[in-house]
């Protein structure tokens, strides 16, 4: 099959350099219930308690820094049952309805801040909004959050935003129906919360409700429509939501179990975009952030979420969210379980990490419109390139191409292809390893990727310049046909000059 690469259309959205960001669960940071090797879950949590993550590990800091600039979201299910002990003599209170499960101490908070600074990230912190911080009448008690916000603002720590609650619409699934927080109640709580942030930490943003969107049905126990129509959100406030296309086999509740074939369905790929566009329509000019997403809920699926098959879904999601006008996409998670970008045992990058790294380095801030693809299984996206090119009449663009066909696709253009990075599995689609331009991809991709100040372009050294990749000199092909071969189930990043 031969398809012509379309010319870029007008820029319809502009994304921030932190568009691709990541999370680390509070449970993993403080030593709570987290997903390990067990095959079952307990109330949407891992059944085992894990030791706290070592944030001083130089490899963890290094890999995180390569994804900067970014925002580190600290949230997760147990975020709604954390006590903030920023004063040493402050005892953890006993609650009449739901006890706190975790305690965040000042020393731990400083470690998190230190990690974020070294990694080149700001922080989005999810505050407890569950029944550990509610009155008998059901109203949100702000005292716990107030201590942490005030301390953070006073110390001028790099917290970009505060998020009120984690998947508030999912409380009935986790704690039981009697612990549901209604949409009207949450809107009332958010008004109080937004005012609190404006008073104590005016540089930060108020975000919520981190509402869970499920496959096929969208937002169960909807909260976002009421929140948006109530008028309680301030001018800087952000609407947040969560989405996973699949549920792993760890979870009891499932609407779409993960599977190899399902992971390649274009119809599944399009679902998140449909939800995002509906949210944007309701939100108007207000920002929408996808503050948690991954290949499969409940820690991911071993043998799928940690392999190349997840990469095709992941890069497509990034393209779709940018096109839909979503402000920031937070990948669950930087490290941990089967959907982490890094292997928790070795801290080695997984396929999705490398794809994320290429996206950060190549896909620029201007999101361009393209005509529909002639095939449902060929997906394409176009951005301006990262950095600014000075002088000259020609313009550079970055394309992301995804081939879900079982046969190769030839992409033909008369424009100048300056760089091309074709990714495919090193063997089976469930391989833990990638080929970049037919060369086995290891950590050298990151360590040998450098920025050339003269042209403001990111380049890979010559070791990876194979399979027809244009060299650093960027030879012109203006009057020649240039062809990029997309192997079956592959994706490619192209730097193209028109």
DSSP letters along 211-259, please? EEEBTTTB-SS--HHHHHHHT---TT-EEEEEE-SEE-TT-S--SSB--
- What's the pLDDT band for 36 if we cut at 50, 70, 90? confident
Peptide bond into 374 cis (omega under 30): no
First CA to last CA across the chain, in angstroms? 24
Peptide bond into 205 cis (omega under 30): no
The CA-atom distances, in angstroms, between 466 and each of 90, 183, 474 are: 61, 55, 14
Q: Assess whether pLDDT exceeds 50 at residue 472.
A: no
Peptide bond into 209 cis (omega under 30): yes
Q: Assess whether pLDDT exceeds 90 at residue 191.
A: yes
Task: Delimit the domains of the chain by residue range.
Answer: 2-12+367-497, 17-365
As to burial, measured by CB atoms within 10 angstroms (0-12 exposed, 13-18 middle, 19+ buried), residue 474 is: middle
Report the pLDDT value the prediction gives residue 473, as an integer from 0 to 100.
34
- What's the pLDDT band for 375 if we cut at 50, 70, 90? very high
CA pair distance 427, 434, nearest whole angstrom? 8
Per DSSP, helices labelled H in 35-80 are 58-65
- What's the pLDDT band for 117 if we cut at 50, 70, 90? very high
User: What are the tokens at 276?
Assistant: 């995002």
Smallest CA-to-CA distance from 75 within 167, 205, 141, 178 is with 167
Residue 190 neighbours by CB distance under 10 Å:
27
Mean pLDDT of 135-161: 96
Report the pLDDT value the prediction gives residue 93, as an integer from 0 to 100.
82
Smallest CA-to-CA distance from 29 within 336, 477, 440 is with 336
- What's the pLDDT band for 465 if we cut at 50, 70, 90? very low
- What's the pLDDT band for 392 if we cut at 50, 70, 90? low
Answering whether pTM is above 0.75, one says yes
Between 241 and 86, the more confident residue is 241
Contacts of 286 (CB under 8 A, 6+ apart): 228, 233, 237, 238, 239
Mean pLDDT of 331-356: 97
- What's the pLDDT band for 416 if we cut at 50, 70, 90? very high
User: What are the tokens at 96?
Assistant: 């009449």
Q: Assess whether pLDDT exceeds 80 at residue 90.
A: no
Percent of the chain with pLDDT over 70: 90
User: How does strand 482-486 pair with strand 409-413?
Assistant: antiparallel
Q: Tell me which CATH code domain 17-365 carries.
A: 3.20.20.80
CA pair distance 298, 277, nearest whole angstrom? 26
Q: Assess whether pLDDT exceeds 60 at residue 456.
A: no
Q: Assess whether pLDDT exceeds 80 at residue 171.
A: yes
- What's the pLDDT band for 462 if we cut at 50, 70, 90? very low
Percent of the chain with pLDDT over 90: 80
Q: Assess whether pLDDT exceeds 90 at residue 18.
A: yes
**Domains 2-12+367-497 and 17-365 agree in fold:** no
The CA-atom distances, in angstroms, between 158 and each of 79, 123, 335 are: 19, 6, 21
Instruction: Among 109-118, 165-174, 220-229, name the one with the lowest average pLDDT.
Output: 165-174
Report the pLDDT value the prediction gives residue 388, as an integer from 0 to 100.
58
Give the fold, CATH level 3, of 2-12+367-497: Immunoglobulin-like (2.60.40)
CA pair distance 477, 416, nearest whole angstrom? 5
Q: Find the angle CA(253)-CA(335)-CA(457) to the nearest 5 degrees.
A: 120
Decide if 217 contacts 254 (C-beta within 8 A): no
CA pair distance 134, 180, nearest whole angstrom? 12
- What's the pLDDT band for 94 if we cut at 50, 70, 90? confident
């Amino acid at each position: 099959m031969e398809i012509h690469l379309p010319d870029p259309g007008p820029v319809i959205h502009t994304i921030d350099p932190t568009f691709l960001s990541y999370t680390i669960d509070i449970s993993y940071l403080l030593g709570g219930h987290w997903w390990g090797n067990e095959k079952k879950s307990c109330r949407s949590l891992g059944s085992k308690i894990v030791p706290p993550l070592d944030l001083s590990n130089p490899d963890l800091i290094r890999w995180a820094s390569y994804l900067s600039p970014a925002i580190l979201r600290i949230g997760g299910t147990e975020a709604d049952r954390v006590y903030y002990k920023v004063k040493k003599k402050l005892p953890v209170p006993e609650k009449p309805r739901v006890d706190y499960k975790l305690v965040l101490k000042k020393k731990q908070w400083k470690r998190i801040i230190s990690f974020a600074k070294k990694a080149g990230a700001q922080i989005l912190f999810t505050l407890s909004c569950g029944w550990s911080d509610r009155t008998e009448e059901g109203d949100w008690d702000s005292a716990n959050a107030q201590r942490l916000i005030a301390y953070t603002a006073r110390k001028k720590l790099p917290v970009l935003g505060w998020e009120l609650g984690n998947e508030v619409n999912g409380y009935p699934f986790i704690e039981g129906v009697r612990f549901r927080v209604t949409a009207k109640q949450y809107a009332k709580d958010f008004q109080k919360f937004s005012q609190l942030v404006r008073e104590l930490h005016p540089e930060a943003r108020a975000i919520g409700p981190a509402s869970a969107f499920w496959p096929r049905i969208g937002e169960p126990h909807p909260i976002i429509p009421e929140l948006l129509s109530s008028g309680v959100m301030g001018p800087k406030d952000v609407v947040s939501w969560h989405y996973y296309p699949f549920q792993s086999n760890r979870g009891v509740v499932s609407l779409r179990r993960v599977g190899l074939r399902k992971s390649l369905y274009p119809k599944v790929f399009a679902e998140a975009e449909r939800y995002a566009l509906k949210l944007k329509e309701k939100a108007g000019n207000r920002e929408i952030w996808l503050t948690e997403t991954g290949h499969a809920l409940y820690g991911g699926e071993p043998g799928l979420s940690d392999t190349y098959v997840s990469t095709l879904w992941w890069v497509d999601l990034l393209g779709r969210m940018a096109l839909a006008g979503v402000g920031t996409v937070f990948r669950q998670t930087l490290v941990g379980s089967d959907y982490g970008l890094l292997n928790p045992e070795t801290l080695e990058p997984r396929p999705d990490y490398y794809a994320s790294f290429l996206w950060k380095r190549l896909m620029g801030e201007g999101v361009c419109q393209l005509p529909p693809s002639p095939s449902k299984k060929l997906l394409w996206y176009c951005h301006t390139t990262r950095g600014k090119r000075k002088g000259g009449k020609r313009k550079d663009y970055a394309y992301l191409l995804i081939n879900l066909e079982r046969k190769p696709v030839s992409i033909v253009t008369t424009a100048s292809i300056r760089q091309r990075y074709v990714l495919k599995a090193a063997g089976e689609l469930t391989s833990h390893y990638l080929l970049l331009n037919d060369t086995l991809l290891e950590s050298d991709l990151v360590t040998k990727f450098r920025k050339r100040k003269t042209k403001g372009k990111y380049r890979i050294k010559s070791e990876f310049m194979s399979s027809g990749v244009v060299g650093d000199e960027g030879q012109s092909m203006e009057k020649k046909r240039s062809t990029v071969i997309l192997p079956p189930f592959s994706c490619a990043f192209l730097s193209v000059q028109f």
